[in-house]
């Protein structure tokens, strides 16, 4: 029970998959921002590029997570342009709430030029 009361060592990770090809989405820019209560200002906390596996370094380091509202911003148009496609969505933003800073959060994104899906992974 002690570990729950310590400073949160949760992390935040993502994984982007191109469902049109079934392959990871590499070289896609991901940004993390936190909502400043009472809002509506967002403060950017991190920027990453996905690697060949569609993953990147954790967007929140252990001890950095605080309870609050966050958003992941995925630069999908740039990614699709790089593949010679147009995208219906210029970018994708996933807004979510961290209630327990000790949790490990994984938020995958599945993308195609005309759809996207996200879910709370583990």
User: What residues does each domain of the chain span?
Assistant: 11-118
On whether 48 is known to bind a ligand per the annotation, the reply is no
What integer best gives the mean pLDDT of the chain?
91
Of the candidate ranges 2-11, 33-42, 43-52, 57-66, the one whose mean pLDDT is the lowest? 2-11
Cα–Cα distance for residue pair 90/18, rounded to 1 Å = 15
On whether 119 is known to bind a ligand per the annotation, the reply is yes
Q: Read off the pTM.
A: 0.89
Cα–Cα distance for residue pair 14/70, rounded to 1 Å = 13
Would you state the pLDDT for residue 52? Answer: 98
In the predicted structure, residue 30 carries a pLDDT above the cut 80: yes
Q: What is the four-CA torsion angle of 107, 112, 115, 119, rounded to 10 degrees?
A: -10
Inter-residue contact 54 to 27 (CB < 8 Å): no
On whether 85 is known to bind a ligand per the annotation, the reply is no
Helix, strand, or coil here: 49?
Answer: strand
What fold characterizes domain 11-118? Answer: Immunoglobulin-like (2.60.40)
């Amino acid at each position: 029970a002690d570990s729950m009361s310590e400073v949160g060592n949760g992390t935040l990770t993502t994984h982007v998959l191109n469902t049109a090809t079934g392959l990871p989405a590499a070289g896609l820019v991901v940004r993390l921002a936190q909502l400043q209560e009472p809002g509506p200002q967002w403060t950017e906390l991190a920027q990453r590029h996905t690697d060949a596996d569609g993953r990147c370094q954790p967007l929140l380091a252990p001890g950095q997570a605080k309870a609050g509202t966050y958003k992941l911003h995925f630069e999908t148009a740039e990614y699709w342009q790089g593949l010679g496609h147009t995208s219906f969505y210029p970018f994708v933003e996933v807004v979510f709430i961290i209630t327990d800073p000790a949790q490990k959060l994984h938020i995958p994104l599945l993308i195609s030029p005309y759809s996207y899906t996200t879910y709370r992974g583990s």
